Structure 1
Amino acid sequence: MTLTTEINDNGGGNGDSPEKLLAPVLSAFWDQPESWTLETYRRHEGYEGLRKALAMTPDDLIAYVKDSGLRGRGGAGFPTGMKWQFIPQGDGKPHYLVVNADESEPGTCKDIPLLFANPHSLIEGIVIACYAIRSSHAFIYLRGEVVPVLRRLHEAVREAYEAGYLGTNILGSGLDLELTVHAGAGAYICGEETALLDSLEGRRGQPRLRPPFPAVAGLYACPTVVNNVESIASVPAILNRGKDWFKSMGSEKSPGFTLYSLSGHVAGPGQYEAPLGITLRQLLDMSGGMRPGHRLKFWTPGGSSTPMFTDEHLDVPLDYEGVGAAGSMLGTKALQCFDETTCVVRAVTRWTEFYAHESCGKCTPCREGTYWLVQLLRDIEAGKGQMADLDKLNDIADNINGKSFCALGDGAASPIFSSLKYFREEYEQHITGKGCPFDPARSTAWADDKNAHQGVNA
């Protein structure tokens, strides 16, 4: 489900009606017939941003994107223009742009729908970015399981070549660009940018030790920019409509529009494109709230690798600063919402099993730590744990957090820390009650008592 409506010039606020809060740009015509074709994209000012970009110098273009305030939409929120600026010029080496489309984290589901419905926004953004960083070869690293998206992306690339937006002397500018679509083999670790580069080079996907950073020695040991799909796909609209238009939405330090993926126990799951800084309460108001008869218990602001929130955080502004100040990360804006019927221990166990399975095994803290987290969590969930296990969970997570080659370890530790912070009593109930209180086969007295005051009506 995708909601689209008119853009509110001031970025929305608590006093605006729900429909005024949405800002459809990338998703503006997802619901139209054959939205993925070049013809449809052109009808919506497609490739006009490219024409304006080619009229600028590469350095001016980088400065323009930097001044727009666009921040990376892949999780960390690093300024996109600044990342482009890091590429050394005049070094005599080829430069590469790599688009990270290996979307694999539980709950994260924005890039795949974007590529399926509007692939030309990404292709146009790629051409603009390559012109800026003086690159003649770009790569899209796509999660290999999504075969329908892969086929649609291949067709969009073919259309772009045929229309002269890719290839030699693009639009008479003298820019030559080759675009390669590469399908990965389904490893979550390849979403980490340096592991992605190793995989793209034909090696086993494992994170690299940094420095050197990709901007200096990335793909094939050459200067490389690695950007998220949504980051690059947002660039054409900025060039076409102007940086001031982009900065009129969102907040001062987190400007613009973005895709929020609402999932879980909600009445209207889907992609909601809105200015940064909207709240979960506002998104739930416009999507129909939690499923009928249930209340919000806990949720993730940016996928399973970000510290969870509770119903107390419904009014936290969903931008990088607001979520960070509240103790979590905006990440990929994957808003997974769970109601009072969900066992926190079970949810955290399933997430941790995923991270243990997807750990590449290169570094000891992540390889060993995630394994032992799973063993402890399974025992606790089954009612075989001890009170000392809770401190042990926290200790193991602390020995993983910040001590791994990449952020997978940090992501595995996040739900441990946050769930113990907000729901330690529930962990203890599994231990003292010798089992899960949410198991229908067991007494539900404790769960009913907790349900009476957990969550809110959304």
Structure 2
Amino acid sequence: MVDMLTPVLSATWDADRPWTRRTYEANGGYAALRTALGMAPGDLVDAVKKSGLRGRGGAGFPTGMKWGFLPPDDGKPRYLVVNADESEPGTCKDTPLMLATPHLLVEGVVISSYAIGANRAFIYLRGEELHVYRRLLQAVEEAREAGYVGTDVLGSGFDLDVVVHAGAGAYICGEETALLDSLEGRRGQPRLKPPFPAVAGLYARPTVVNNVESIASVPSIVSKGADWFAGLGTEKSTGYGLFSVSGHVKHPGQYEAPLGITMRQLLELAGGMRDLPDGTPGELKFWTPGGSSTPLFTAEHLDVPLDFESTMQAGSMLGTRALQMFDQTTSVVRAVLRWTEFYAHESCGKCTPCREGTYWLVQVLRRIEAGKGTEEDVDTLLDTCDNILGRSFCALGDGATSPITSAVKYFRDEFLSGTHTPAWELFPYERSSVFADADRMPTVSHAEPAGMA
């Protein structure tokens, strides 16, 4: 089973000080950049198109196609922006990548900037991740000292300035146009599209916005070839990716494998479900294939190939490959409520369906969690979700509805149990804790949520 893993992005994570330029170069780092600088920019774009690389930030849009949307060069600035604002609950792939091998991202940034004709690139990072921010700054400076960044990169005549920018911690800034507004110093709110960033992005100039993992995958495409990359994964979802397995499993962590691997295979790699505090085996109850904003899956979906097409056909989305695993001790009502509280808090408030809808979803879910719900509340949840879905300004509103509608679909009886019994009685907190030692559990009050009396 281990043979299914394809360590490419994570190949040097266990090396000595893998974040340094010395270690990165010792393992072939920046060789792809030298190759790329000897190619025509258009050939690089064609290579990325041929590889079939699709955006690794969740949407899965073909990366090479996005690069090709840029208008012809008019001699004025154009930009590359790397979306490193990893905020989706359960997602943790870009952060360890930047922490362990920041030079891989820097090399990808330089190659991608050369391919699209950008002389300035930005890496937009979450401000809370100070340790990652410092490491990226150090990596850019080390790359500048070696001539990989700056004026006349490696004597090629290509100039590039790389700016590492720390955001203020808003989830909405993971949306590409809200990110651009934040980068310009404005309040992070999504823009009306069209125009799309490829035409009028940062500072109203042509801009490519790509995820960290997407850009970090470019050096391997250049060094090993587009055909090699296309030979991994599935026909329409090519390549490899980092799968973040967390929750009630014995060995949570990052598993880098070709797209199309199944959750059953990943679960085996992760040691299976954990044993419960009383020693009985844990059983999978539900899981997220792509983070909390994707529809839930259950044990019946363990053999669904984790690629863009198969997960969508099965009723969910691959998203960011944040695989959160929950066993039978977990209240699905409680889990969905916590996610919805997050989305209500992070809504930028620009559009009414999301601003008002997420607020009311939280109120109804709190009532059900407290055992004070009604049968009508379940229908109210679905009706509210229906009024948000497809009517919000960006994908935040749509994402907030996904776990609710899917949870009701698979666990309607559990929601109806909220008409008479609190979730904390049906599913005690201490049983679902991932901590083996109960003494490490935080003190939890069973008081009713505000406004539920």
TM-score (norm 2): 0.92
2:77 partner letter: P
1:217 alignment partner, SS class = coil
RMSD: 1.0
Q: Which residue is 1:451 aligned to?
A: none
Partners of 1:216 and 1:36 in 2: CA distance? 35
Partners of 2:427 and 2:321 in 1: CA distance? 31
Q: Which residue is 1:302 aligned to?
A: 290
Partners of 2:84 and 2:238 in 1: CA distance? 23
Q: Is the 8 A contact 1:214 1:224 kept in 2?
A: yes
CA deviation after TM superposition for structure 1 residue 436, in Å: 4.9
Q: Which residue is 1:115 aligned to?
A: 98
Q: Which residue is 1:226 aligned to?
A: 209
Partners of 2:379 and 2:45 in 1: CA distance? 48
2:3 alignment partner, SS class = helix
Q: Which residue is 1:13 aligned to?
A: none
1:216 alignment partner, SS class = coil
Q: Which residue is 1:377 aligned to?
A: 365
1:271 alignment partner, SS class = strand
1:30 partner letter: W
Classify 1:440/1:248 alpha carbon distance in 2 versus 1 (closer, same or farther; 3 Å): closer
CA deviation after TM superposition for structure 1 residue 238, in Å: 0.7
Partners of 1:399 and 1:33 in 2: CA distance? 53
Q: Which residue is 2:343 aligned to?
A: 355
1:378 partner letter: R
Q: Which residue is 1:455 aligned to?
A: none
1:45-444 paired onto structure 2 within 5 Å: 45-292=28-275, 293-433=281-421, 436-440=424-428
1:431 alignment partner, SS class = coil
Q: Which residue is 2:445 aligned to?
A: none
Partners of 2:332 and 2:390 in 1: CA distance? 24
Classify 1:435/1:37 alpha carbon distance in 2 versus 1 (closer, same or farther; 3 Å): closer
Partners of 1:440 and 1:357 in 2: CA distance? 26
2:219 alignment partner, SS class = helix
Partners of 2:305 and 2:332 in 1: CA distance? 24
Partners of 1:436 and 1:373 in 2: CA distance? 19
Partners of 2:422 and 2:161 in 1: CA distance? 60
Q: Is the 8 A contact 2:91 2:320 kept in 1?
A: yes
CA deviation after TM superposition for structure 1 residue 435, in Å: 5.3
1:379 alignment partner, SS class = helix
CA deviation after TM superposition for structure 1 residue 127, in Å: 0.6
1:246 partner letter: F
CA deviation after TM superposition for structure 1 residue 32, in Å: 1.2
Q: Which residue is 1:450 aligned to?
A: none
Q: Is the 8 A contact 1:383 1:436 kept in 2?
A: no
Partners of 2:357 and 2:428 in 1: CA distance? 32
Q: Which residue is 2:434 aligned to?
A: none
CA deviation after TM superposition for structure 1 residue 287, in Å: 1.5
Measured against aligned partners, the alpha-carbon deviations of 1:334-380 in whole angstroms (never above 9, x if no partner) come to 00000000000000000000000000000000000000000000001
- Alignment gaps of 5+ in structure 2: 276-280, 430-453
Q: Which moved more, 1:49-58 or 1:276-285?
A: 49-58
Q: Which moved more, 1:375-384 or 1:44-53?
A: 44-53
CA deviation after TM superposition for structure 1 residue 438, in Å: 2.1
Partners of 1:435 and 1:252 in 2: CA distance? 44
Partners of 1:75 and 1:318 in 2: CA distance? 13
Partners of 1:31 and 1:398 in 2: CA distance? 47
TM-score (norm 1): 0.91
Q: Which residue is 1:24 aligned to?
A: 7
Partners of 2:346 and 2:250 in 1: CA distance? 31
Q: Which residue is 1:11 aligned to?
A: none
Partners of 1:354 and 1:135 in 2: CA distance? 36
Measured against aligned partners, the alpha-carbon deviations of 1:163-220 in whole angstroms (never above 9, x if no partner) come to 0000011011110000000001110000000000000000000000011100000000
Q: Which moved more, 1:428-437 or 1:148-157?
A: 428-437
1:302 partner letter: G
Measured against aligned partners, the alpha-carbon deviations of 1:421-456 in whole angstroms (never above 9, x if no partner) come to 100011011214465552449xxxxxxxxxxxxxxx
Task: Decide which of 28, 35, 41 is 2:24's aligned counterpart.
Answer: 41
Partners of 1:392 and 1:283 in 2: CA distance? 36
1:75 partner letter: G
Q: Is the 8 A contact 1:356 1:370 kept in 2?
A: yes
CA deviation after TM superposition for structure 1 residue 90, in Å: 2.7
1:207 partner letter: P
1:186 partner letter: G
**% identity of equivalent residues:** 70
1:115 alignment partner, SS class = helix
Partners of 2:422 and 2:104 in 1: CA distance? 53
2:149 alignment partner, SS class = coil
